[in-house]
Amino acid sequence: MLHPVGTGHYLVLSLALLLVGILGVLTRRNLVIVLMSVELILNAVNINLIAFSKHTGNLAGQVFAIFVITLAVAEAAVGLGLLIALFRNRETTSADEVNLLRW
Amino acid sequence: MEGRLLSLILLTPLAGVLLLLLTPGGNRRLIKLMANLAGVAGFLVTIPLMMNFKAGTRGYQFTERLPWIPSLGVEYALGVDGISLLLVALTALAGALAILCSWGAVEERLKEFYALLLLQQAGMMGVFLATDFFLFYFCWELVLIPMYFIIGMWGGERRLYAAIKFVLYTVLGSVLMLLGILALYWQHFQQTGIYSFDIVKLMQVTLPPGTEHWIFWAFFIGFAIKVPMFPFHTWLPDAHVEAPTAGSVILAAVLLKMGTYGFVRFSLPLLPNASADRTVVRVIAVLSLIAILYGALVSLMQKDWKRLVAYSSVSHMGFCTLGIFALNHAGIAGSALQQVNHGISTSMLFLLVGIIYERRHTREIAQYGGLAHAMPGFAKVFAFAVFSSAGLPLLNGFIGEFTILQGVFAANRTWAAFAVMGVVLGAAYLLWLYQRTMLGAVTREENRGVADLTPREWLTFLPLMAWALWIGLYPKPFFDVLDAPVRAILERVAVR
Amino acid sequence: MTAFYTGTDHFAVLPALLLALFGCAVLLFEFVLPVGMASRRALAALTLAGEGFTAYSLYRQHSYLSSQGWPALTAFQGAVTIDGLALAFNWMFLAAAGLAALISYRYLETEGEHSGEYYGLLLFAQFGMFFLASGTDLIVQFTGLETMALSFYVLVGFLRGRRRSNEAALKYFVLGVLSSGLILYGFSVLYGISGSTKLSAVAGAVAGRGAGDPLIWLAVATLGAGLFFKIAAAPFHMWAPDAYDGGPTPVVAYLSVASKAAAFVLLLRLFLGPLAAAREAWQGLTVMVALASLAVGTIAALSQDNVKRLLAYSSIAHGGYVLLGLVAGNARGLQGIVVYLLTYVFMNTGAFLVLVLLRRGEAEGNHIDDLSGLMRRSPAAAVLMLLFLLSLGGLPPSSGFIAKYYIFLALVESGHYALAAVGAIFAAAGLYYYFRLVKTMFGGRELAGEPLAASMGTRVAMVSTAVVTLGLGLYPEPLLQLALLPVKP
């Protein structure tokens, strides 16, 4: 017998996505993949918001999710813009070669 | 002007800074004249204070009070009692002499140099005049920056190292002291509901014993580094050796006194139970005795003239702290007077080193010998300074050391015995220094033609020598002035 | 039925509206005006005019609230609140943005990257900060945060032709979006436990659950990590030295003071607002982060030869002090935070300003050796830098002393003696690297080259930062009055 899918399941899913996203940002070397990991984090947030909205019956969460989607677009635009600027000067998208500034 | 006399004393050096900044930069002579004018003015304005000061009166005189930072209860509050009066006089004199002695010694960036000296003088005056703890701390820190530059820009070869060492040591001590001040301030607020830094009001706080001890040690670190007590003294030889003569004079005559003054003014009356605690007293007495003996022994071994005088300061300041923590009338009064004595005699010694260094460009004792032949005047003044510093009867050092020893003897005979050994060693290293540099045959040709003291140099020594003789021959007025405040302190500390 | 847009709403957000309006106007004018020096000047002037109008509208809010005895003015059904906290921080942002605009002109001319977008982004960032300071709704705060952050990503990378700037911007961007994501995740959890995005409603739900609840813990952990990233507190500080090093200096000045203050105000709104009930959940974490920041900032700064990186580490340490004010958790601590950040705006901008002066022709002006012998080359710049460094080091008679004083007082009042002692020791140690710069300026060998010339705007900025830094050190009462605002009933 299947258990009904509840808010808790969504929360677990979103946490998992969050962790995958964080790991991706911190470990992946290709900047395009880093950008995609950021999208994962934002979508983890969206899953949370929608699930909670359903759970509490408050619509603000869904509105919030739309804001987050908008943000994700803006972030991607800025991020790609910066990446292109770097690419013009350097011709690489690998984080390993972004090495002029020592950590 | 009566009501604002202390502000006048505080602001005259600052007016001097302004005057200097407005003086055109090209004319070096004019700058020097202006600076000396400001220095002398700074001294002259303290004369009415000394004339009108009423010895034997309890509490602060010439008090002034203006709100400064009302939200914190900080006031611009000034006042003098006998202990601060002597140090104000000493500061005014040392400030003027430091400017005078730089006439020939400093030729670079005159304006900045003199402006910093005057700025520092204002800060030191603030330290001794403030009766508000915040104002005291403010001025305490203000003194630091001019001294950093005086050492760091006009000093010797390792000047930058010495200057930063001086700053870091002092700041480390003073930030911890600040925490002590804040804790006291907060306790006062909790008990009275009033935010105030007024040291008279802060005395009314009754502190839990544990807190009082913590505050005491916080103050102790701040003051002990400044004095400097063993084992916090290591900044002092470096700072003294690298500083230009004017800087050494100010350091020895005034800056070190800020530490002992802090003990007398704040630690004892504000934290009487912790100050009178047996363990505390014992620790401080032992540290003072180590400073006296260690300072003397290290002086004995020095090859560098200026370093020797610097270590002698460590030894002499040990007497001052020992006297304070004898916690009796003779000890504290003697220590207050000894602070002035040390200011006078060590200033003279540093001025003399400065003069000989200007002529010969070395401070190595072995380079000298038989100087008395070429410089009879110099030798006379040097003898005077050595006797004064070593505590020869009829001069100031004797009165101070003797009174302190009297107090220490009453408190603990063993300490007194060790302290007497310090006196003997003090005489030894000073007289040996005199013998090696001044007496005997001239060993090096360079020392034959060294010029004797010029009239301007004589002028710097005369007031110091006069004051030393005065204290040595007739110390009564000084003890009269000190009597009332010392009694007030003892009433607080005796409570236990 | 509640009205959609009332007079109160308008009054409350007018400063932000003006900022947005002028930001757009700058972009538009850049398009319309002919290319040339005169137009670029006009754009800079327009930006300053925008700041002027914003200042006036803030002043009106200030005088209105003060005449009413400091009520919290809510607008948009509680989504925006103008209170003492919001005003104190908005004054800070205004000062930081104004100073940044003043010092940018010459720098951008030297770099050859002068354009209207720069000024537009400057204003848009401030627009975002306005809503961080006055937003009391998660969506509003989130929007404000992102508006600010996105503007800053671009500003840091504004020198398109320079690889350092590109790299700085990318690093800042990657870690910035990560922290935004974390904060957002925290927001979503807060929304989940309360079913509302209003902070007041969230507060009730948090209080109902208590500090031990795992969801509260999750919210605190994600929000904390994200916000500590934004304020560059250790161990989340890695982006700061790179972003400071590579970014255009005026932007870095703006970033280091305004973005830090903005992140702090969000932290205050959340941690002293809804999460105040769960103090046990974040107190320990904050103590650790504050101490780590002090240690990392102070120790790493000791060995820096690049002045911008040095100031970055010093800024991390300063963040640690401000966090200690939050740890104290009393009214004095909150005042201390405001005092600290406000003085920091002036002293840190001042220090960067001198670096802007040093940037001329081929000379980068970032290396410690570029300061060598500055006292001989340009005494005014050296003395000002000295003042700012003393202030950063927390010595009287500068405003930095009052700032540190307040933090220590707050710690003593709340009984955190050990923390106060650690902070004091790091304060003393920090002087070492500030004095390293002082030593170079006053003792170092003089560099060849003409005396530094300052543009009109730079001069105005120099004088105002110096006057404020010294003036507030000597007579801090006005500053303290402003700092009292957040705790007025």
Q: Which residue of A has its CA nearest to C178?
A: A38
Strand partners, B74: B69
CB proximity under 8 Å: B 357-386 to C: none
In this prediction, residue B445 has a pLDDT band, given cuts at 50, 70 and 90, of confident
Share of chain B above pLDDT 90, in %: 26
Residues near C208 by Cβ (< 8 Å), separated by ≥ 6? Answer: none
Residue B25: is its pLDDT beyond 80?
Answer: no
Residues of C in contact with B178 (CB under 8 A): 405, 408, 424
- Partner-chain contact C187 A21, CB within 8 Å: no
d(CA B60, CA B80): 5
Q: What's the confidence (pLDDT) of residue A101?
A: 47
Q: Taking CB atoms and an 8 Å limit, are B175 and C477 in contact across chains?
A: no
- B153 to chain C, any CB pair closer than 8 A? The answer is yes
Closest Cβ–Cβ partner in C138, C142, C166 for A85: C166
For residue B101, give the DSSP letter: H
Average pLDDT over every residue of C148-170: 89
Q: By the 8 A CB rule, do B409 and B416 touch? A: yes
State residue A93's pLDDT score. 57
**% of chain A at pLDDT higher than 90:** 37
Among C residues 392-451, those touching chain B with beta carbons less than 8 Å apart:
395-397, 401, 405, 408-409, 412-413, 417, 420-421, 424-425, 427-429, 431-432, 435, 438-439, 442-443
Q: Which A positions 22-61 lie with beta carbon below 8 A of chain C?
A: 22, 25-26, 31, 34, 38, 41-42, 44-45, 48-49, 51-52, 55-58, 60-61
C-alpha to C-alpha distance for B469 and B480, rounded to whole angstroms? 17
Report the pLDDT value the prediction gives residue C75, as an integer from 0 to 100.
87
* pLDDT value, residue C268: 92
Across chain B, mean pLDDT equals 88
B103-140 residue pLDDT tens: 877 777 888 888 999 999 999 999 999 999 999 999 99
- Residue B56 predicted with pLDDT over 60: yes
Distance from the A65 Cα atom to the nearest Cα atom in chain C, whole angstroms: 9
ipTM of the complex: 0.90
pLDDT-based confidence at B1, cuts 50/70/90? very low
What percent of chain C is predicted at pLDDT more than 90?
A: 50
Please tell me the distance in Å from B153's CA to the nearest CA on chain C. 6
Higher pLDDT, C106 or A49: A49
Picking from A78, A92, A103 by the largest number of C CB atoms within 10 A of its own CB, the best residue to mutate is: A78
How open is the CA angle B125-B129-B134, to the nearest 5 degrees?
100
Over range C25-32, report the average pLDDT.
89
Contacts with B144 from chain C: Cβ below 8 Å? 395
**Cα–Cα distances in angstroms (integers) from residue C213 to residues A8, A14, A93, C193, in the given order:** 15, 18, 42, 11
Q: Cα separations (Å) of B303 from B308, B348, B387, B447, C195?
A: 8, 19, 21, 18, 81
Position B396 pLDDT exceeds 50: yes
Chain C CB within 8 Å of residue B14 CB: no
Q: Which of C153, C170, C177 sits opposite A98 (nearest CB)?
A: C170
**Kind plus residue range of the DSSP H or E element containing B65:** strand B61-69
pLDDT at position B227 is 87
Q: Per residue in B340-373, is it b (16+ CB within 10 Å) or e — as a string?
A: bbbbbbbbbbbbbbbbbbebbeebebebbbbbbb
Can you tell me the distance from the alpha carbon of C86 to that of C93, in angstroms, rounded to the nearest whole number? 10
**Has residue C254 got a pLDDT over 90?**
yes
Q: What is residue A102's predicted lDDT score, i.e. its pLDDT?
A: 43
Least confident of B248-262, C130-144, C371-385, C423-437: C371-385
Q: Where are the domains of chain B?
A: 291-496
Residue C403 reports pLDDT greater than 50: yes
Crossing angle between the packed helical segments C379-393 and C417-443, to the nearest 10 degrees: 170
Inform me whether the pLDDT recorded for C1 exceeds 70: no
| H-helix segments, B53-109 | 82-101
Q: What's the pTM value of the predicted model, to 2 decimals? A: 0.92
CB count, 10 Å around CB of C347? 28
| Structure confidence at residue C14 as a pLDDT band (50, 70, 90) | very high
Q: A12: buried, middle or exposed (CB in 10 Å: 19+, 13-18, 0-12)?
A: exposed
Q: Using one digit for the tens of pLDDT, what is the confidence trace for C201-217?
A: 888 888 888 777 888 88
CATH of domain A10-93: 1.10.287.3510
Torsions phi, psi for C377 (to 5 deg): -75, -45
Q: Which of C95, C96, C110, C114 is nearest to C452 (CA)?
A: C110
Structure tokens at C466: 């110096």
Alpha helices in C112-137 (DSSP H): 116-134
A95 — pLDDT class (breaks 50, 70, 90): low
Q: How many CA atoms lie less than 13 Å away from B183 in the CB half-sphere?
A: 27
pLDDT tens figures, B300-313: 888 888 899 999 99
Q: For strand C73-75 and strand B74-80, is the pairing parallel, antiparallel, or unpaired?
A: unpaired
